[in-house]
């Protein structure tokens, strides 16, 4: 799901196309960002994994805030800023973070820390063929400027699952440095992008372009971060003349909507599956879903609907339905992304769980499945994979969370259940379960009698004695060293 | 003739053929089975059975083996599920077999599967005789061969079939493994007697005996002997880099069952009780079900529709005894004084036999009888060997039924939906609605289908408004299309739309270009699929 290409670690290598600049110049624009990272352990939801550190380069913005990538500070326990070429340090707080766009805005806790920094201004958007420089800080604070060429500018994949935004592909030869997790791309002293991935073999990297950064900053600086809007549709190209005929599309242009999320921007505006979307906000779409961008030329509709508008701005659609053209209007939002039963994008959220007499229940998230590794869709319990992957077409109720038995801690009362895992809980004592909270309440409320757990799959039903669960109390937690028996 | 490379991790033991079985496939099939037949996987120890055999000299055993063990050389053809219209690749392999009563040769099914030519040869006679398959049982990896020329049997006797040997007792393996052309003997001890997966079928698990004698490619089908009797047929092992000194033989209860089954002139499949159950070891669960703490009984948790238990057992039933043998709470029964998995009672029976169950249902004791039948609805998980792959070709679109063989070639490239359908097919009883999912496996490039190429790998839902439940539905549905054909897929894929006139024009061109003689092959042959009653069975 997430596949960040880490930039290299500390080895001093002098490349061909770099030179050192003065300490003073970098002092005005860049800081080191040192993050202590400690991800949650989804398989042992009561604890975190081994901590490690990540170092990156942050860009100081006018106004005393620092721009970095979200990946640099994701799962942080703390973030510190450091002046290049000196040991001056300051803790920082994350003011806004967008995991989809892979951007984060940091604020030093000491307002004086960035005094004397002029801050970097936003530069122009680039197109393929343009050149720029990727800046790197050396150990002693000297700056290396590496010549980069933009190879492509278009909608591409971001590290977060299913995220596609405007992206530059660049070619640059980068020497290995330890501050390289995030690097700014500059032109004429202005910021033109944030490099977020680099492949040392092909010497190609991916860069978050300025239009994305500006969108993020505009959203972040108004105090309430809302994120990038989404339409909530799946679509396919309409190049195939037979398909055009089948859906009575006009002579040229337009894309076919193959699924429309009723909660999303498009769904609430009235768009339906089978509609031929001809234009968005006045931009005409061709058969492959490209509009003519004034800067980038033919560009995917993804940029049109995700980067250009902000949440709350009006959306205008021109479409053809059963051969009749019509206009629909709506409002851009993120509901198709956020109102979802099993969250795909959930970072920095402690996994929720309840332990009942040794049965460990968790709420299903993309983060849990991701814990199964690159081949999660083959390795994770198939029922959980199915619910997660097909939740749109299964029309899962966003208000109802999926609770599953993730493992069984052996105890005197869980004998015979030890091999159970990956089972979706449907009921406890006949009551539907719509989240961990309701499960915990129901379990707490039962003083005696049976706790009958019903699952959607084999073995369907298991039973614990409520009085025995109560009597066991914290013992199971003590035996296994769990800091708490639940996190709701 | 012999290739020693590509011996699979857990594969059959005959020279040459091993590379047919991909390592990944073996593992995946294990997984699938694990999903819907957990009861088969549970490991168990069947302790010592059988009696000490009357002693007979090692010299005598060797003499008998030299008379009756034969080299089986096979040229076979393996279908290519990527190009189902092709006759497949030809390969040669060598295995072993031995003469049993009735002038028949017992060997492994995998030695002769897909055979186009079989020759058998004895040690004492340099001539090679043509052999013919009498019966083959892919589910337990056994086959019987006959040789028409009576000359062949001159000087042979019969290797008698014995019992299950004792743990740690010494056995000798005879065969023609790599390293030479003459009869080879290796010795070892019986290491373990247990249920194990039979990789040839990919779906089945039966009793198997692990021995530490060297078993290598070419040993397949050869007898494993103790004193003057056959105690097993060598059939599979691990690749050398996975485990050493681990070989498996098919024990005599499985051999006897096979020989008895074919007495009526044809081989039926193993029967299956077709349920899933849970151990009843938790005391709160026992109390809830109102069962005393007597250590007996297991709970039925799933009943597969169209299976032996369909309509007889219910979810939540507690099985207390099977054919009079009390069932322990871990699912074992005592058979001849030894603990064995309760399915062993069913394993030894045949289609049409009954099994008697004592069941605790709604706090009452009931006596039920089940009529046993094969679990045909799961036949999708079975590797196919003799049958030609079925397909329908339409405008360069290749439609194939989902089978274990197809999945083996699609693995890695297959998308999540297809894998999900495959792995959930048994568990979720998808066969009730779709006894045989049909996949658009590939698209032979042609100007006609230039816009359809992204659709390869999708599962077909409907053609021209007709539901596609098996491959047999495809041709009639295609014919129902007037002027144009609309194909819908599962999920939110776009439909494929083709003009019938364009397809008619393209078909001769496609067939010539891709060397295809027939546009379809749809006969099911002997195979049976689930009936697919749309009615949900009593599984709640």
- Burial of B459 from C-beta contacts in 10 A (0-12 / 13-18 / 19+): buried
CA distance A144 to A174: 9
CB count within 10 Å of CB B290 equals: 10
CA distance B377 to B460: 20
The alpha-carbon gap from A299 to the nearest alpha carbon of chain B, in Å, equals 21
CA distance B103 to B124: 17
What topology does CATH give the domain B10-264? Thrombin, subunit H (2.40.10)
Q: Are A271 and A233 in contact (CB under 8 A)?
A: yes
**Per-residue pLDDT at A178:** 66
SS3 B491: coil
Cross-chain residue pair B499–A242, CB shorter than 8 Å: yes
Q: What are phi and psi of A479, to 5 degrees?
A: -55, -40
CA distance B107 to B142: 6
Cross-chain residue pair B285–A234, CB shorter than 8 Å: no
Q: How far is CA B2 from the centre of its chain?
A: 25
Cross-chain residue pair B278–A458, CB shorter than 8 Å: yes
Q: What are phi and psi of A107, to 5 degrees?
A: -125, 125
Q: Are A196 and A159 in contact (CB under 8 A)?
A: yes
CA distance B221 to B235: 6
Cis bond before residue A459 (omega within 30° of 0): yes
Cross-chain residue pair A416–B285, CB shorter than 8 Å: yes
Cross-chain residue pair B451–A242, CB shorter than 8 Å: yes
Beta strands, E only, B212-274: 223-226, 229-238, 247-251
Pick from A413, A458, A461: CB nearest B276: A458
Chain B neighbors of A450, CB-CB under 8 A: 284, 287-288
What topology does CATH give the domain B378-521? N-terminal domain of MutM-like DNA repair proteins (3.20.190)
Please identify which residue in the block is written with the tokens 């492509």. A152
pLDDT in tens, A80-138: 999 887 878 999 999 999 999 999 999 999 988 998 888 999 999 999 999 999 998 88
From residue A297, alpha-carbon distances to A153, A277, A303 in Å are: 10, 20, 12
CA distance A71 to A5: 11
Pick from A273, A413, A452: CB nearest B288: A452
Cross-chain residue pair B492–A234, CB shorter than 8 Å: yes
Cross-chain residue pair A236–B419, CB shorter than 8 Å: no
Q: How far is CA A183 from the centre of its chain?
A: 19
SS3 B243: coil
CA distance B59 to B66: 11
CA nearest B416 in A: which residue? A377
The alpha-carbon gap from B492 to the nearest alpha carbon of chain A, in Å, equals 6
The alpha-carbon gap from A11 to the nearest alpha carbon of chain B, in Å, equals 37
Cross-chain residue pair B301–A239, CB shorter than 8 Å: no
Higher pLDDT, B538 or A205: A205
CA nearest B300 in A: which residue? A459
Q: Check pLDDT > 50 for residue B30.
A: no
Contacts with B459 (C-beta within 8 Å, 6 or more apart), sequence order = B402, B417, B418, B421, B437, B438, B439, B440, B489, B490, B491
Cross-chain residue pair A243–B497, CB shorter than 8 Å: yes
CA nearest A420 in B: which residue? B278
- So where are chain B's domains? 10-264, 275-373, 378-521
**Per-residue pLDDT at B203:** 82
CA distance B95 to B72: 5
Q: Is A400 on the interface with B (CB under 8 A)?
A: no
User: Residues, chain A, total?
Assistant: 488
Chain A neighbors of B423, CB-CB under 8 A: 382
What topology does CATH give the domain A20-221? Thrombin, subunit H (2.40.10)
Domain A353-487 in CATH 3.40.30.10? The answer is: no
Chain B neighbors of A242, CB-CB under 8 A: 451, 484, 497-499
- So where are chain A's domains? 20-221, 233-336, 353-487
User: What's the whole-model pTM score?
Assistant: 0.87
CB count within 10 Å of CB A292 equals: 12
Q: Are A453 and A407 in contact (CB under 8 A)?
A: no
CA nearest B279 in A: which residue? A416
For residue B396, which of B89, B85, B88 has the smallest C-alpha distance? B85
CA distance A160 to B166: 58
CB count within 10 Å of CB B131 equals: 26
Q: Is A395 on the interface with B (CB under 8 A)?
A: no
Pick from B285, B420, B427: CB nearest A462: B285
**Per-residue pLDDT at B48:** 24
| Mean local confidence (pLDDT), B93-117 | 95
CA nearest A273 in B: which residue? B492
The alpha-carbon gap from B500 to the nearest alpha carbon of chain A, in Å, equals 11
**Per-residue pLDDT at B55:** 44
Kindly list the residues of chain B whose beta carbon comes within 8 Å of any beta carbon in chain A.
Answer: 35, 38, 276, 278-285, 287-288, 299, 301-302, 315-316, 329, 416-417, 419-420, 423-424, 427, 451-452, 484, 486, 491-495, 497-499
DSSP codes joined into one string, B173-187: EEE--TT-SS-EEEE
Q: Which letter does DSSP use for residue B270 in this model?
A: P
What topology does CATH give the domain A233-336? Pdz3 Domain (2.30.42)
Cross-chain residue pair A463–B495, CB shorter than 8 Å: no
Q: How far apart are the first and last CA of chain A?
A: 26
Q: Check pLDDT > 70 for residue B432.
A: yes
Q: Which letter does DSSP use for residue B200 in this model?
A: T
Indicate the Cα dihedral angle A186, A187, A190, A192, nearest 10°: -60
pLDDT in tens, B119-153: 999 988 889 999 999 999 999 999 999 999 999 99
Cross-chain residue pair B301–A459, CB shorter than 8 Å: yes
pLDDT in tens, B368-378: 999 999 998 99
Average pLDDT over chain A reads 90
Cross-chain residue pair A458–B427, CB shorter than 8 Å: yes
The alpha-carbon gap from B155 to the nearest alpha carbon of chain A, in Å, equals 55
Chain A neighbors of B420, CB-CB under 8 A: 382, 385-386, 389-390
Please identify which residue in the block is written with the tokens 């020989």. B259
Q: Are A337 and A160 in contact (CB under 8 A)?
A: no
Residue A364 token pair: 């299903």
B480: left (phi over 0), alpha (psi -120 to 50) or beta: alpha
Q: CATH code for B275-373?
A: 2.30.42.10
User: Residues, chain B, total?
Assistant: 540
| Mean local confidence (pLDDT), B462-473 | 96
Q: Which letter does DSSP use for residue B148 in this model?
A: S
Q: Are B313 and B320 in contact (CB under 8 A)?
A: no
Q: Are A51 and A36 in contact (CB under 8 A)?
A: yes
Angle, helices B23-36 vs B416-424, to 10°: value is 50
Beta strands at B129-137 and B332-335: parallel, antiparallel or unpaired: unpaired
- Burial of A456 from C-beta contacts in 10 A (0-12 / 13-18 / 19+): middle
Domains B10-264 and B378-521 share a fold: no
**Per-residue pLDDT at B29:** 19
CA distance A281 to A236: 19
Q: Are A37 and A184 in contact (CB under 8 A)?
A: no
Comparing A76-90, B104-118, B289-303, the range with the smallest average pLDDT is A76-90
A161: left (phi over 0), alpha (psi -120 to 50) or beta: beta
pLDDT in tens, A400-444: 999 999 999 999 999 999 999 999 999 999 999 999 999 999 999
Q: What share of chain A is helix, strand, coil (3-state, %, to 5)?
A: 15, 35, 45
The alpha-carbon gap from B17 to the nearest alpha carbon of chain A, in Å, equals 28
């Amino acid at each position: 799901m997430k596949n960040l290409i880490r930039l290299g670690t500390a080895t001093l290598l002098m490349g061909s196309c770099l030179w050192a600049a003065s300490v003073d110049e970098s002092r005005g624009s860049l800081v080191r960002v040192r993050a202590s990272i400690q991800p949650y352990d989804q398989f042992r939801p009561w604890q975190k994994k081994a901590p490690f550190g990540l170092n990156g380069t942050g860009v100081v913005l006018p106004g005393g805030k620092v721009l970095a990538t979200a990946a640099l500070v994701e799962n942080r326990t703390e973030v510190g800023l450091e002046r290049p070429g000196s040991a001056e340090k300051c803790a920082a707080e994350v003011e806004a973070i967008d995991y989809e766009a892979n951007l984060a805005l940091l604020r030093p806790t000491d307002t004086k820390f960035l005094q004397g920094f002029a801050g970097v201004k936003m530069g122009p958007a680039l197109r393929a063929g343009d050149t720029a420089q990727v800046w790197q800080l050396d150990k002693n604070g000297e700056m290396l400027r590496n010549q980069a060429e933009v190879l492509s500018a278009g909608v591409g994949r971001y590290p977060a699952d299913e995220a596609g935004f405007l992206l530059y592909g660049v070619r640059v030869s980068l020497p290995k440095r330890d501050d390289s997790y995030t690097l700014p791309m500059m032109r004429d002293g202005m910021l033109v992008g944030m490099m977020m991935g680099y492949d040392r073999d092909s010497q190609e990297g991916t860069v978050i372009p300025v239009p994305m950064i500006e969108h993020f900053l505009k959203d972040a600086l108004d105090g309430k971060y809302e994120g990038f809007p989404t339409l909530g549709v799946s679509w396919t190209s309409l190049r195939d003349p037979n398909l055009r005929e089948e859906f009575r599309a006009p002579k040229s242009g337009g894309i076919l909507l193959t699924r429309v999320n009723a909660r999303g921007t498009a769904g609430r505006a009235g768009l339906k599956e089978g509609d031929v979307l001809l234009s968005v906000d006045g931009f005409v779409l061709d058969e492959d879903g490209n509009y003519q961008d004034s800067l980038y030329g033919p560009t995917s509709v993804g940029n049109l609907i995700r980067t250009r508008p902000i949440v709350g701005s009006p959306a205008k659609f021109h479409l053809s339905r059963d051969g009749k053209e019509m206009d629909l209007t709506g409002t851009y939002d993120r509901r198709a992304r956020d109102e979802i039963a099993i969250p795909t994008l959930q970072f920095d959220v402690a996994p929720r769980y309840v332990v009942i007499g040794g049965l460990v229940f968790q709420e299903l998230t993309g983060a849990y499945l991701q814990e199964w590794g690159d081949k999660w869709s083959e390795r994770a319990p198939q029922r959980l994979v199915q619910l997660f992957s097909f939740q749109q077409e299964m029309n899962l109720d966003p208000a109802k969370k999926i609770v599953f038995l993730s493992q069984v801690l052996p105890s005197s009362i869980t004998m015979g259940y030890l091999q159970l895992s990956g089972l979706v809980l449907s009921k406890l004592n006949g009551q539907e379960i719509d989240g961990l909270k309701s499960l915990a309440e129901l379990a707490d409320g039962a003083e005696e009698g049976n706790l009958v757990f019903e699952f959607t799959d084999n073995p369907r039903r298991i039973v614990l004695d409520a009085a025995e669960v109560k009597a066991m109390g914290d013992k199971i937690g003590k035996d296994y060293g769990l800091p708490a028996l639940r996190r709701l | 003739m012999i290739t020693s490379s590509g011996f699979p991790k857990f594969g059959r033991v005959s020279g040459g053929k091993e590379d047919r079985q991909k390592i990944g496939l073996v593992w995946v099939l294990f997984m699938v089975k694990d999903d819907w037949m957990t009861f088969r996987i549970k490991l168990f120890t069947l302790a010592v059975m059988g009696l000490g055999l009357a002693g007979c000299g090692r010299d005598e055993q060797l003499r008998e083996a030299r008379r009756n063990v034969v080299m089986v050389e096979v040229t076979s053809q393996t279908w290519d599920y990527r190009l189902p219209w092709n006759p497949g690749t030809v390969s040669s392999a060598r295995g072993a077999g031995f003469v049993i009563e009735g002038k028949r040769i017992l060997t492994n099914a995998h030695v002769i599967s897909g055979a186009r030519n079989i020759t058998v040869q004895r040690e004492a006679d340099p001539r090679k005789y043509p052999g013919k398959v009498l019966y083959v049982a892919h589910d337990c990896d056994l086959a019987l061969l006959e040789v028409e020329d009576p000359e062949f049997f001159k000087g042979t006797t019969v290797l008698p079939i014995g019992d299950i040997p004792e743990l740690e007792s010494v056995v000798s393996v005879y065969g023609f493994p790599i390293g030479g052309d003459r009869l080879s003997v290796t010795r070892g001890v019986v290491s373990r007697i247990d249920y194990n997966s039979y990789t040839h079928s990919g779906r089945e698990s039966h009793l198997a005996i692990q021995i530490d004698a060297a078993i290598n490619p070419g040993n397949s089908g050869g007898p494993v002997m103790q004193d003057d009797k056959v105690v097993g047929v060598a059939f599979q092992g691990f690749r050398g880099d996975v485990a050493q000194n681990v070989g498996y033989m098919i024990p005599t209860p499985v051999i006897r069952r096979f020989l008895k089954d074919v007495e009526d002139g044809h081989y039926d499949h193993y029967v299956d009780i077709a349920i899933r159950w849970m151990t009843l070891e938790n005391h709160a669960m026992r109390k809830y079900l109102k069962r005393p703490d007597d250590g007996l009984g297991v709970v039925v948790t799933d009943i597969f529709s169209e299976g032996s238990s369909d309509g007889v057992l219910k979810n939540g039933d507690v099985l207390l005894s099977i054919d009079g043998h009390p069932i322990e709470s871990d699912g074992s029964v005592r058979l001849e004084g030894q603990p064995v998995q309760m399915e062993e009672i069913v394993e030894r029976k045949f289609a049409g036999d009954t099994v008697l169950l004592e069941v605790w249902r709604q706090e009452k004791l009931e006596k039920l009888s089940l009529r046993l039948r094969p679990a045909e609805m799961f036949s999708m998980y079975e590797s196919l060997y003799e049958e030609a792959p079925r397909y329908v070709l339409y405008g360069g679109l290749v439609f194939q039924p989902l089978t274990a063989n197809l999945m083996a070639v699609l693995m890695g490239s297959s998308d999540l939906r297809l894998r999900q359908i495959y792995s959930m097919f048994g568990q979720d009883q998808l066969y009730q609605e779709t006894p045989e999912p049909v996949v658009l496996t590939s698209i032979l490039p042609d100007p006609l289908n230039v816009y359809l190429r992204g659709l390869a790998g999708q599962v077909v839902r409907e053609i021209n408004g007709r539901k596609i439940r098996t491959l047999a539905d495809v041709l009639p549905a295609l014919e129902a299309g007037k002027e144009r054909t609309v194909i819908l897929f599962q999920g939110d894929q776009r439909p494929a739309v083709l003009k019938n006139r364009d397809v008619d024009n393209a078909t001769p061109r496609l067939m010539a270009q891709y060397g295809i003689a027939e546009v379809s092959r749809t006969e099911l042959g002997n195979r049976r699929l689930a009936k697919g009653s749309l009615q949900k069975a009593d599984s709640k």
